[in-house]
Structures are given as structure tokens and as C-alpha cells.
Structure 1
Amino acid sequence: MTSSPTTPAPALGTALAVTSVASVQFGAALAAHLFSRVGPVGTVSLRLVGAAVVLCLLARPWRRHWSGGDARSAMLFGGVFTCMNVTLYLALDRLPLATVITLEFLGPLTVAIVTAGSWATRVWAVPAAAGVLLIGGELSGGDTAGVAFALAAACCWAAYVLLSGRMGRSGSGLAGLATGCVFGALIMLPVGLLSAGVGDLTRPSTAAIGLAVGVLSSAIPYSLDLLALRRLATAVFGVLTSLNPGVGAIAGYLVLGQSLPAATLIGVGLVMVASVGVTVAPLLRARNRIIAPVPSHGELIVDVGTVGNVGSG
């Protein structure tokens, strides 16, 4: 049955997507509080364990029939997801949250620009580049390692985009993410124990925060993204996903007390504008040519909105 104009689905979808963005970024801010206790690597191991437990309870991947290809995709996805989180947290240990999230966001943004169908879409690389230059101009020489880790996280997020599409086509979805998190947790838990020490990593208060980080940064946003995409066009969802750098700035200020120079804030804004432009441009072009209706969820060219929020933070 066709929804009436008063159906609240779009409003609910918007609320779900915005909540997902906030959950990811405040989860990242909370994770930064663990660095002084167990370090970035130990924090990653706790996050993956927490995410794996909650996602397995939600998705129950053991009840799904797994082909060899699905299992390999899930493990590869888990490896990329783990690398993304390790490099992200190593960057967060050195740079403000908003700076790291903006640099990491270049991963899916680059994929969207490279795979765009026209130069009218690719031109949005210009404000993105200007934003990065403004952000870079406010960094010091000692921030080089943090920038390198953030850009490595961006590369991992770009790979995450491509692997997410493969997993979506295979139908593994949430079960695939849960299995990937289990694989990542099995890799990182021994590393975290060696890095932080058994006593520090297993302290109840530390473990509880780690579980909360896993829930806020992975379990909640991925689940909310799936629900939001059932109610929103992909382009709308992409625009809302573009809020990640801005919400990262808010979370960094409120939770970590990180204030940013005006030039950096402008740079963050330019990257967000580029993300919105890349998402909306193909839709406007199609409408102007009057050759097709608004694409459905499965038909839109890859954009930053198709990757969800779980990759960020």
C-alpha cells in the first residue's frame, strides 16, 4: 500500500540516521577517555569485543547458512574493519576528534567522487580539497603521525565501502558485520592484553566503558542505519551521513573539551558541503534531464550515504 503524505516514515528515518551519527561520534569521544587507561590498541580490542557480543546477540549469525565465499568476505571485512579502528584510534590519540573524523571521511568521499558518473559530480572534490588544506594549515609538524594514521583509516573506510556493497549483495548484512567483529576481536584481544596488560584491560570499570564504546560505535549505529534506509531515499541518508565531521566537532568539544581554530571549523564545513554535493548532484542531474525517477535504495551510484555511519568513529 502506498504511503500517504502524512506518513511519519521520513521523519522517523531522519531521526534514526541523526541518532546513528551522534552515537558514532560520542562513542569515539568516550573511547578517547580509555586511552589513558589501556591505550588506543587496548581500546580497540575492548570495542571489538563489545561490538561482537552485542551484534551476535542481535544477528545470531550461527543460525545462518554460510557459503565459503560469504565466510571469506566476512573475515576480510573484519580485517579491514579492525585496521580501520586501530588506525582511527591511533590518530585520535594525537589529533582532535573533528580533525580525525574529517580526514577519515575523505575515504568514502573519494570513492564517491571517483565512481561518479560525470565531472559535474567530481567537481565537488574542489571544496573537499580546500577544506583539507585549511585543516592542514592549522596542524604542526608534530602532528604528522596523527595525519598519517587518519589517512590510513580513510583508506580502510574506502575499502569498507566496497566490501559493504559485496556483503549487501550476498545478503549477509548484519550477520556479516557480527562475524567480522568476532574475527577482529579474536585478532585484537591478545594484542590488547599484551599492550595494556591483563589487569588493566579486564578491570570492571574499564571493560564496562569498552562495552559501551562497542555498543555506541558499532551495534547501535549499524542497526539504526538499516532501519533508516527502509524509510529514506539513499540520497537523503547520504546528506545526513555527511553530518559526521560536524557532530564529531560537537562531541569533541562537549566530551573532550577540544576547541578548534576557525580555519579548521571552516575546513570541516567545506568537506561536509562536498559530501552533500556529491550525494545530491546525480539526483539533480537525473531530474533535470527528466529521464528517470528518484533512484531507489539499490539503484543509486555509490555515495557517502551508502556506507552507513559505523565506519566513522
Structure 2
Amino acid sequence: MPHTASGKSSTLIAVLALTGSMASLCVGTSFAKHLFDALGAQGTTALRVSFSALILLCVWRPWRIPLTRANALAIALYGAALGATNLLFYMSLRTVPLGLAIAIEFTGPLAVAVLSSRRAIDFLWIACAVTGLLLLLPMGEAAGTLDPVGIGYALAAGVGWALYIVFGQRAGNAHGGQATSLGLTMAALVVLPFGVAHAGSALLSPPLLLAGLAVGVLSSAIPYSLEMVALKRLHRRTFGILLSMEPAMGALAGLVFLHEQLSPLQWLAIASIITASVGCTATSRGKRDAGRDPA
């Protein structure tokens, strides 16, 4: 009996940790959107990714671990995909509500999971995801006033997330902390030119630097730390199912912190994509990458 109670307690801690991770990420992204007026999506992305990289470099000190040429190339590709995904996702947030942008981006890892399988049940999850996307496309009055360019950026971020998963698996031969810290450093090198070109000297403003640090902590340092707690206590399938709730949490964060009102049809679209993600994860065979949102 004590052993069972201990197991339940451990699971509860893991669920709370993952919930806290998603909440921190969504709150951090909501806060980041407030910086768009001063820095633009490009400058905000540059600060967020750069500070995240600095934090993880200090934590992991990857230079202490030998790095092979093959692993270095894999990490570089992984980092480039990570940087592109962050930039494209933040570009989508200029005109697309947070919850909808996350839901659209989720189609990337869904595609990776479904394309790796040929079972009949997977076509049901494809149908759910496609239904959700169709409900969001700007076709007619029912779809609302979503910007097609913003939707395009979110879809492109989904492609970036899919590549992030593929390249991340290849980089898995390296030490986890080394791959993550060096990958984020590569991501910073990818996005910094865009941030500097758009925001210029505003990136060096002390108040904005402090705000960028806060975004980096809320969007990366805290979520990744809490996820490590969750991953040690949860099966990957359970982790993936819980992670599928992130679009809904993003929609709630957008409502509370950004006053982004969604129509019933848009909530239905989010529910369809969440159903696809939960179903795909629940019916998967064996372990698969949980596909944490790199943005």
C-alpha cells in the first residue's frame, strides 16, 4: 500500500510539473507578444532564443564534453530548425491568436507521427487534424477574420517543428544537455540577423533586455526544467497526451493576458486538432518522441 501511494504521488507531481511547464510557456509567449510593438516579432525572437541559449550554456557547459563531427552536424541542423521554428511561430503571432497558432503548429509533429505509420486508425486522426485546419482557413464569414499570411507562418512553423523532431532524433547520439545548449546557440545564430535587421539598437535597451530575459526564463528555462521532472516519472505516451492540451492552454492564456476572443468555430477547430494529437499519441505503438513544442 505505501508503495502504491508513493507511485500515485510521483505521478501527481509529474502531471503538475508538466502542467506548470505548459502554463509557463504560454504565459511567457503571451508576455513576449507585448514586446512586438518595440522590437517586432523578429527582435523578440532574437532576445528570447539568445537568452535561452545563454542560460543553458551556463547550466550545461557543453564545451566540457567531446563532440564528434557527425554529432556537430546533427546538432547544427537541429538548432537551425529550432531557430526557424521560433521565428516563424512568433511571426504568426502578430496576427493569429496564441491558441490557434499553437494548434496550427501542432500539425507538424502530427504529420511526423502519422507518416511513420500506415495503420487505418491513423486516417481518423488525419481527418480530425484536417477538419480543424479547414475550420480555421479564411473561407467565408464563419471562419472569422484570420489573416492568411499569419496562418501561413503558423503552418511553416509546423513544418519547422517536424524538421526539429527529425533532426533532434539524429542529434540524440550526443549528450542531451550538450545537444540542447549547442542547438539553442545555433538557433540564436539563425534568428539574430533577423532581429538586428528589424529592431536594431533597440535590442540593447536595458528595459527590453530585462524583458527578453524574463521571456527566456518563462518560455525555456522553467518549462524545460519542469519537463525533466515530468519525463522521469511519466511514460512517453502519457506525456504526449498531456502535452496535446497545450493549444487549449494557449487559448486560455491568450484570453486572460492578451484579451484574444475566439469564436465557437475556432474553439471547435482547436478541439479537433487536440483530438487528433491525443488519438495519435494514445494509439501509437511503442515509444516515440513526445515532440515538445520548440517555440
- TM-score normalised to the size of structure 1? 0.87
Shift in Å, 1:174:
2.4
Question: For residue 165 of structure 2, what is the aligned residue in structure 1?
Answer: 161
SS in structure 1 at match of 2:102: helix
> How far is 1:73 from its partner?
1.3
The equivalent of 2:198 in structure 1 is 195
**SS of residue matched to 1:71:** helix
Q: Which runs of 5+ in 2 are unaligned?
A: none
Cα gap change, 1:206/1:139 in structure 2, threshold over 3 Å: closer, same or farther? farther
Residues 140-177 of structure 1, C-alpha deviations (whole Å, 9 max, x = no match)? 67711111111100000011111222222x04212211
The whole-number CA distance in structure 2 between the counterparts of 1:187 and 1:115 is: 29
More divergent stretch after superposition (268-277 vs 171-180): 171-180
Give the structure 2 partner of residue 294 of structure 1: none
What's the secondary structure of 1:6's corresponding residue?
A: helix
TM superposition shift of 1:113: 1.5
1:182 aligned to which of 181, 185, 195? 185
Counterparts in 2 of 1:39-78, with a 5 A limit? 39-78=40-79
Q: Which amino acid aligns with 1:93?
A: R
Contact 2:136 2:146 in 1 (8 A): no
Contact 2:28/2:219 (<8 A) preserved = yes
Check conservation: 1:116, 1:122, Cα contact below 8 A.
no
Q: Deviations over 1:211-246 (max 9, x none)?
A: 111222222222322321110011110111101100
- Matched with 1:307 is 291
Q: Which residue of the partner structure matches residue 224 of structure 2?
A: 222
CA shift in 2, pair 1:118/1:180, >3 Å: same
Q: CA deviation at 1:37?
A: 0.4
TM-score for both structures, normalised by structure 2: 0.92
CA distance, structure 1, for counterparts of residue 4 and residue 123 of structure 2 = 34
Match of 1:4, as an amino acid?
H
Alpha-carbon distance between aligned partners in 2 of 1:33 and 1:24, rounded to the nearest angstrom: 15
**Offset at residue 62 of structure 1 (A):** 1.3
Counterpart AA for 2:49: L
Could you say which residue in structure 2 is the equivalent of 1:5?
Answer: 4
Distance in 2 of aligned mates of 1:177 and 1:270: 31
**Number of corresponding residues:** 289
Structure 1: segments with no counterpart, 5+ residues? 284-298
1:118 and 1:188 map into 2 onto residues whose CA distance is: 38
Verify the 8 A CA contact 1:70 1:172 in the aligned structure 2: no
Deviations 1:79-115 (A, max 9, x none): 1111101111110011111111110011011111111
> What is residue 291 of structure 1 aligned with on the other side?
none
User: Match for residue 272 of structure 2?
Assistant: 270
Q: Residue in 1 aligned with 2:147? A: 143
Distance 1:43 1:9, change over 3 A: same
The amino acid across from 1:10 in the alignment is: T
The alpha-carbon distance between structure 1 residues 220 and 163, as it changes in their structure 2 partners (threshold 3 A), is farther
**AA of the residue aligned to 2:233:** R
Contact map agreement 2:132 2:268 (CA 8 A) in 1: yes
Amino acid at match of 2:159: C
Alpha-carbon distance in structure 1 between the residues aligned to 2:108 and 2:146: 23
Distance 1:217 1:223 in 2: 11
What SS does the aligned partner of 2:16 have?
A: helix
CA distance in 1, matches of 2:256, 2:179: 34
Look up the match of 1:293.
none
Change (3 A) 1:281 1:184: closer
CA contact (8 A) 1:80 1:156 kept: yes
- State the one-letter code of the partner of 2:237: A
Which one is further off, 268-277 or 221-230? 221-230
Q: Which moved more, 1:132-141 or 1:9-18?
A: 132-141
| Structure-2 separation of matches of 1:58 and 1:208 | 19
Matched with 1:103 is 104
Cα deviation per residue 1:233-263 (whole Å; 9 max; x = unaligned)?
A: 1111011110110001011011111010010
Cα RMSD between the aligned structures? 1.8
The worse-fitting range, judged by mean Cα deviation, of 128-137 and 254-263 is 128-137
- Mapped to 1, the partners of 2:21 and 2:168 lie a distance apart of 17
Structure 2 CA distance, aligned partners of 1:218 and 1:126? 32
* Corresponding position: 1:152 with 2:136: no
Opposite residue 146 of structure 1, the aligned amino acid is: G
CA contact (8 A) 1:114 1:122 kept: no
Aligned partners of 1:225 and 1:308 also within 8 Å: no
Are positions 1:21 and 2:22 aligned together?
yes
Return the alpha-carbon distance in structure 2 between the equivalents of residues 227 and 69 of structure 1.
30
